[in-house]
Structure 1
């Protein structure tokens, strides 16, 4: 079956980082609601600042300090607003793709001494089960020529390039390290090859 994506609704969303147009997408790949926040005119543009952000309820909504997700989301919107144009794609793949329930179970395992990677594996999952085909389709729908990807994760760059997206540049997006997220950040750097300054205790 051919992968299909439909841009069903577009509506203005004023935010503390300026006004964006929210695009609501349906698709035949999964049963999730994915969105894109678009600032300015990106049609046919190259070097478009793009953040592909995977849902993190605890970090994005509750402000959890266990991760850097909420801070990365905020920083990415700052970067896009400063550039005057860009896209934030919000993919509904909670907990690196394992879902909220298993992410919370993984939290409990982490509190017993496991890191994020080992906790996911203990629960029968991969360290990272996310995939980015829908993000590629969204960028195609928005007719973007090339992107500057706001990420610390080289896997996102490789995944997008395999989907035919031209990634011109990486824009780092580093949150502050502190006592609640230091081990999380170290695991990202050491076990998942995220491009972070090596955090220290």
Structure 2
């Protein structure tokens, strides 16, 4: 999807997330090219940092809100919030549930995974690509915020590649923690084997 040079900040609203945390603001945007309500959560004053920490996080209702153990999304989100509450940064929350296939299709994919296929094969069986997310809105949001030199909190090398191709300088890719359990071990292994995610899993 092409970038949207018309992307602009729509609202910039202080929303305290914790009495003890650094000041936080929620920023909405107009002119994003997919017409979804993506949001940026600003921790502190990242615009004053040489290369602020950025987390591009795709929405995961089951993990982020309800604590699903079938993925590591919730743990990664909460880790980013802890780090940024201490040192500042920007959390870009993208409304791209289930790697872009939507919540209902994600649940259908889970049902297929329960028959023994991996997360990427399940998407293919439903007629989708391995990963249907588009990080162009995140790029447009960063540019609208005036952030063109960043550190990226991610295990996904493809996110960094997309940012660099769009003119965002990624000075460092900071790996997240490894949050493996009995329910998501195969899911994380597929990320490593098929998408080269930087996750170190213990060998049995």
Q: TM-score, normalised by structure 2?
A: 0.92
Structure 2 spans left out of the alignment, 5+ residues: none
2:133 partner SS: coil
Q: 2:164 maps to which residue? A: 161
Check the 8 A contact 1:26/1:32 in 2, yes or no.
no
Q: 1:193 aligns with which of 181, 193, 196?
A: 196
The answer on 1:21 being equivalent to 2:25 is yes
Q: 1:7 maps to which residue? A: 9
The answer on 1:55 being equivalent to 2:59 is yes
Give the Å deviation of 1:81. 1.9
Q: 1:76 maps to which residue? A: 80
Check the 8 A contact 1:42/1:143 in 2, yes or no.
no
Give the Å deviation of 1:20. 0.9
Q: 1:129 maps to which residue? A: 132
Q: 1:38 maps to which residue? A: 42
Check the 8 A contact 2:3/2:137 in 1, yes or no.
no
CA distance in 1, matches of 2:128, 2:10: 33
Give the Å deviation of 1:47. 1.4
Q: TM-score, normalised by structure 1?
A: 0.93
Give the Å deviation of 1:14. 1.6
CA distance in 1, matches of 2:118, 2:67: 20
Alignment of 1:172-183 (within 5 A): 172-183=175-186
Please, which moves more after superposition, 41-50 or 113-122?
41-50
Superposed CA RMSD: 1.6
CA distance in 2, matches of 1:117, 1:27: 31
CA distance in 1, matches of 2:148, 2:137: 17
Give the Å deviation of 1:19. 2.9
Greater than 4 Å deviation, 4+ residue runs: none
2:196 partner SS: coil
| 1:2–1:64 Cα change, 3 Å | closer
Give the Å deviation of 1:163. 0.9
